[in-house]
Amino acid sequence: MQMLFRVLVVSFWLTGCAVSVPDAPTEPMSASVELEGSPALSLLQRAETARQQGETAAAERYLERALNIAPDSSWLYKSLADLRLFEGDARSAEGFALKALRLAPDHPQYRADLWELVATARERQGDKTGADEARQHAADALMPGKPV
């Protein structure tokens, strides 16, 4: 069974190479990928509404509650990073984006987006070298077969 699986995976991979399209999930990453059916999803939605209304404290409280329910959600950490960047706290934003990366699924575009978020947060802290490094990671993320 395992052998069959490996053969299948390898053949898909090889097919992918032949037409030179990376073997990436085509579905865009979204909150519902991780949080479908979880009450954390509705807290995330409330957080987004609160943020749009400028109620950042409420947004934060919602996200913290959501994390208590779904502590391994990369998307929630990404949302926290976005919120912090929005609030002007670039340092925290970087930390949360890196945390989101640790938990991120193997989704090249999503990982690249997170590295881009890290790069922006570093830029805002005046860390040009760090930002460049993060951008390199973002580019690598979109290259097939390269661990990032």
Partner 1 sequence: MAKNTKKTPARSRGQSPRKKTPARKKKTASRRWFSWAFVAKVSLVLLVIGAAGMAYLDAMVRQRFDAHVWQLPARVYARPVELYEGRVLSREDMLKLLDLMRYRKDSRASTPGSFSAQGNSLLIHTRGFHDSDGGEKPRRIRLSLSGGQIQFLQAGGDGLARLEPLQIGSIHPQHAEDRVLVPLEEVPPLLVEMLIATEDQGFYDHHGVSLRGLARAMLANLKAGRLVQGGSTLTQQLVKNFWLTSDRTLSRKLLEMPMALLLELHYSKQQILEAYLNEVYLGQDGARAIHGMGLGAQFLFGRPLQELEPHQLATLVALLKGPSWYDPRRRPERALERRNTVLGVAVEQGALSQADFDKYSARPLEVVPRGASALYAFPAFIDLVRRQLARDYPPEVLSDEGLNIHSTLDVLAQLAAEGALKEHLDNRDPKQDKKLNGAVVVVAPAQGDVLALVSNRNSREAGFNRALDAQRPMGSLAKPAVILSAVQQPQKWSLATLVEDGPIQVAMPNGDLWEPQNFDKQARGAMPVVDVLAQSRNQATARLGLDVGLDKVAGTMETLGVTRNVPRYPSILLGSLALTPFEVAMMYQPLATGGFSTRLRSITDVLDKEGQPLARYPVSADEVIEAGPAFLTQWAMQQVVDNGTARSARAYLPEGLNVAGKTGTSDDYRDAWFAGFSANHLAVVWVGRDDNGNAGITGSSGALPVWARLMGKLPQRSLSQNPPAGVEWVWMNPNGQQVSAEGCGDARRYPMLEASIPQDADGCGAVKQTGKGIKGWFKGLFD
The DSSP element (H or E) to which 76 belongs, if any, is: helix 74-87
Question: Which residues touch 51 (CB under 8 Å, ≥6 apart)?
Answer: 59, 83, 86
Under the binding rule (CB under 8 A), the answer on residue 109 touching partner 1 is: no
Q: Is 43 in the site for partner 1 (CB under 8 A)?
A: yes
**Residue 8 is a binding residue for partner 1 (CB under 8 A):** no
User: What is the size of the binding site for partner 1 (CB under 8 A)?
Assistant: 32
Q: In the chain, what is the straight-line distance between the N-terminal and C-terminal CA atoms, in Å?
A: 30
Which stretch, 19-27, 28-36, 43-51, 119-127, contacts partner 1 (CB under 8 A)? 43-51
CA dist list (Å): 113 to 6, 38, 40, 131, 139: 30, 24, 22, 13, 10
Q: Considering the rule CB under 8 A, would residue 102 count as an interface residue with partner 1?
A: yes
What are the two backbone dihedrals, phi and then psi, of residue 112, each rounded to the nearest 5 degrees?
-65, -40
**Where does this chain touch partner 1 (CB under 8 A) — which range of 15-23, 25-33, 60-68, 119-127?**
60-68
- Write down the residue that tokens 């802290």 correspond to: 125
Query: Considering the complex, what minimum distance in angstroms separates the CB of residue 43 from partner 1?
Result: 7
Using CB under 8 A, list all residues that contact partner 1: 2-3, 6-7, 10, 39, 42-43, 46, 50, 57-58, 60-62, 64-65, 67-69, 71, 77, 80, 91-92, 95-96, 98-99, 102, 147-148
